[in-house]
Structure 1
Amino acid sequence: MAEHKYTRETVTSITQWVPHKLFSFSTTKPAGFTYVPGQFARLGLPLQAAQDSSPAIWRAYSMVTAPQQDGLEFYSIVVPAGEFTPRLAQLRVGDAIYIDKSAFGFLTLDRFEPGGNLWLIATGTGLSAYLSLLQDPNTWKLFNRIILVHGVRHEEELAYRQKILEWVAQGPAADGATGFTKLDYLPIATREALAHTPQERITTLIANGQLEALANCALDPAVSKVMLCGNPDMLLEARKLLSERGFAVGRRGNPGNLAVENYW
């Protein structure tokens, strides 16, 4: 397959977070595949179910794993009427999946100057890119605090919650070290109340100041960097709210304090 821009890889594990709705899966890693935490890969499937067919449908998925780890992991929602995700959800361990040899995307920490507080705000499967960042020990050395905000509809959709709580308690599991940057985790559900956070949309909590109160940390553009990843409606509203506070996406030669990426 040397003539192709993709390689054929193998599914090695599958985790069902919410049956028929949310799942993650691991694959072998293409030889020589490199990426920066926060980037995404293009995954391909054939139009027909036959394993030997060439890939014809491609979708972007952020890596959950950090670059130094063996294999790749991805997190997905099932869109029942979609062309890609129902097929993806039918894959089993040992099945083939195609992966572009190049990584893409700019939801990476090199968009920011180090220091200050890092806000990682996501809805749904937009959490993926942040999991890669948090599994890279370097992330924990660059900022004074990290605040991870994950918005979902129902509590059962808080995938990776236990792993995140372990990082809150002990720092990055990647090297077993402690004493790193403090991580705060704010799970937010819009359809049911959780134990320590209000039943509300993330953008409402930004607008009324409750998100800052929950984190005990100001969304101050002088000392904060914010990443937004999730559904386009949330991104549009959150970006507007943050822009009004002085947050801006960086331009060439001028690092900003806001990075944004659509993710369904």
Structure 2
Amino acid sequence: MSTVNTDSVLKNDEKSTLETITSVHHWTATLLSFRCTRPPAYQFTPGQFARLGLRTADGEIVSRAYSVTSAMEENTLEFFLVLVPDGPFSALFAKLQPGDQLLVEKNSYGFMTVDRFLDGENLWMLATGTGLGPFISILQDPAVWKKFKHLILVHCVRTQEELAYQALLQALPHRTELAAGGAHLTLVQATTRDNQTESSRHLHGRITTLLEDGTLETAAGTSITVEASRVMICGNPEMITATREILVQRGMRPCRRAVPGQFVTEDYW
């Protein structure tokens, strides 16, 4: 789904600021990105999420947590989400237009950040659906392009219409501040419901299937290894659980506070 797995809510307006929606872009009927003004002094590390709130007609605040997709230096915040049928936040957000307001908590949260890795040459970013969001921000950070030699973004969706941000992703290697880092970016896209003809430009199948049969690494032109690869996984919890098991079988371990590892995960649900 579209939200980070958290039960936290905006209970106190003193913790948040009232911000204005500046734009809304619909990728599909239910998939969209939007931008809002950025709270004064708001700081985040690429890969982190923000807590957003909307008021109901009764004055109750309904909140959700969404990964920031914008670059650190931008003066607006961008988020990527799917409208969930009968979802309380989605029902409220679907009515909003540029000029309307929402609450943004003053702090950012989350530990799916590149600084969790102490070493490694290849950064793999595996995403399903709107799990792509944090990687859009991470890939706009010049420090990431300096830290790794090879950046591999894998995005798996149901149909090719859901492959969002393609123009931005294709343009990243041509941005001067990123290219100066020297890393090479590989984009691997996959669909699960298109037939083979419709998805001829993309891989066909789930990330876990493509990992197990070797198709994913063949398409990326490099293998996932304990020594060189660091992996970030964001999306459907079932995909994350299955992918984690595959990586563990290969000798990789998750990053812990006191123990360096080779992969980090974040559920979107």
TM-score (norm 2): 0.90
**What is the Cα deviation at residue 251 of structure 1?**
2.0
SS at match of 2:27: strand
- Counterparts of residues 8-87 of structure 1 (less than 5 Å): 8-19=18-29, 21-48=30-57, 53=59, 56-87=61-92
User: Cα 1:157–1:112, aligned 2, differ >3 Å: closer, same or farther?
Assistant: same
Cα offset, 1:176, TM superposition = 6.6
Cα deviation for residue 88 of structure 1 reads 1.4
Secondary structure of 1:31's match?
coil
Alignment partners' CA distance in 2, 1:10 and 1:63: 16
Distance 2:131 2:112 in 1: 11
Q: Which moved more, 1:122-131 or 1:242-251?
A: 242-251
1:165-220 deviation line (CA, Å, top 9, x unaligned): 1225x2xx373745620000011000114234331111100111111111111011
Q: Which amino acid aligns with 1:152?
A: V
Tell me which moved more, 173-182 or 104-113.
Answer: 173-182
How many residue pairs get aligned? The number is 255
Distance 1:189 1:215 in 2: 16
Conserved 8 A contact 2:140-2:178: no
Of residues 220, 224, 248, the one that matches 1:215 is 220
1:119 — aligned with what? 124
Match of 1:240, SS state, is helix
Percent identity over the alignment is 42
Residue 108 (structure 1) aligned with residue 113 (structure 2): yes
The one of the two structures with greater contact order (alpha-carbon pairs below 8 A, sep at least 6) is 2
Contact conserved, 2:70 with 2:136, CA < 8 A, in 1?
Answer: yes
TM-aligned CA distance change 1:249 to 1:103, over 3 Å = same
Distance 1:158 1:252 in 2: 34
Matched, 1:260 2:269: no
Deviations 1:116-157 (A, max 9, x none): 100000000000000000111111111010000000000000
Range 40-49 or range 142-151, more displaced: 40-49
Contact 2:16/2:104, CA 8 A, preserved across alignment: yes
State the shift of 1:89 in Å. Answer: 2.4
- Could you tell me the TM-score, scaled by structure 1's length? 0.92
Deviation (angstroms), 1:3: 6.7
Q: Does 1:155 align with 2:160?
A: yes
Name the CA distance, whole Å, in 2 between partners of 1:243 and 1:182: 26
Matches of 1:126 and 1:92, distance apart in 2:
24
Where structure 2 has 5 or more consecutive residues not aligned to the other structure, the ranges are: 1-11
The CA distance in 1 between the partners of 2:228 and 2:177, in whole Å, is 28
**Matching residue of 2:193:** 191
CA RMSD of aligned residues (A): 1.7
Structure 1 pair 63/174, CA: closer, same or farther in 2 (3 Å)? Answer: farther
- 1:162 Cα deviation (Å)? 1.4
Q: Which residue of 1 aligns with 2:256?
A: 251
What amino acid maps onto 1:8 in structure 2? L
Q: 1:191 to 1:37 in 2, by over 3 A?
A: same
User: Which amino acid is 1:223 matched to?
Assistant: A
Report the CA distance between 1:32 and its aligned residue.
1.2
Contact 2:27 2:164 in 1 (8 A): yes
How far did residue 42 of structure 1 move?
Answer: 0.3
